[in-house]
Amino acid sequence: MKTRVLFIGGCGRSGSTLLSVFLNAHPGMVSVGELKFLPEWIARDAPCTCGRPVSACEFWRDIAAGLAGRRRAESGESGESATRLGDEELSEVIEAVRDRTGCRVIVDSSKTVADLDRLKRREDIDLYVIHLVRDGRGYLRSRTKPVKHSTVRPEVQEPVSAVKAIGRWLATNLEYSRQDARLPPDRLMRVRYEDFVRDPESELARICGFVGLEFDPAMLEDGMHDCHDIGGNGWRYAQSSAIRLELDESWRRRLSPWQKLLFAVGASWLNRRYGY
């Protein structure tokens, strides 16, 4: 039996954590956050979104113990040394989440093309892909300022240069644009962060239809909805219940004239392709 996975891909700082929280509110979907980080979370016994360490979290406890036990049996080591899930482990974790929750769709926001390619190779995965895009100028602003990532990674992420940020935005989105020719048209959807924030009901309904589910108005209710994401943006740890959707366009006043010019020269052509 194939497990349906909705993979959210694209650049970081583009709203994937926010989107996954709202998708998790659908009774037929469950978000696992950035599944690629699960071995690291197990090794650190780090908290998921619920605030409990994975060893004490009702959602992850048995899955984490099973993964560690499998690794001990195969390697004779602690079971926590490998930093990435193997292909078989990836399928087993996804299947365990499906069986535990009974949800038809597992949402993985690992984002990178490398993680997408691993899922594409799995014959037991029924894969759907969202390419989540954000106005590149918003990404540039976010990536060139210090940001505290999360409680498990409490260090402040140092800003990168504007040139490096623009290069990453271009490279990642071009990789996902190439997926247009590599995935069937009914398996790839492009979602703009700004459209989601401005009209969440329309975008969530469109995503539900994409994966074969009916839209549920409960998705629009403020709250974390028993969310157990791994990884993701640090803001989610500060959420108690209410989530305020507010479009971040601080780049308009925070980017310097030369940063705006640099982006216009180097990346505005791709930004226009996405409707910006």
Tokens representing residue 13 in the block: 């700082």
Question: Are 57 and 48 a contacting pair, CB within 8 Å?
Answer: yes
Q: What is the pLDDT of residues 85-125, one digit of tens each?
A: 989 999 999 999 999 999 999 999 999 999 999 999 999 99
CA distance linking residue 139 with residue 165, whole number of Å? 8
**What single DSSP character describes residue 247?**
-
Range from 38-47, 60-69, 111-120, 231-240 carrying the lowest mean pLDDT: 231-240
The continuous run of DSSP H or E covering 207 comes out as helix 200-210
CA distances from 164 to 10, 114, 175 (A): 16, 20, 16
CA distance linking residue 177 with residue 171, whole number of Å? 10
Residue reference for tokens 């910006």? 276
| Chain-centroid distance, C-alpha 116 | 11
CA distance linking residue 163 with residue 266, whole number of Å? 9
Give the residue with greater pLDDT, 149 vs 229: 229
Domain 3-135+150-155+184-243 adopts which CATH fold?
A: Rossmann fold (3.40.50)
CA distances from 255 to 121, 143, 144, 145, 264 (A): 41, 11, 9, 10, 12
Query: What is the reported pTM?
Result: 0.92
79 falls in which pLDDT band (50, 70, 90)?
very low
Residues of the chain above pLDDT 70, percent:
88
pLDDT averaged over the chain? 90
The per-residue pLDDT for 155 is: 47
Give the residue with greater pLDDT, 107 vs 222: 107
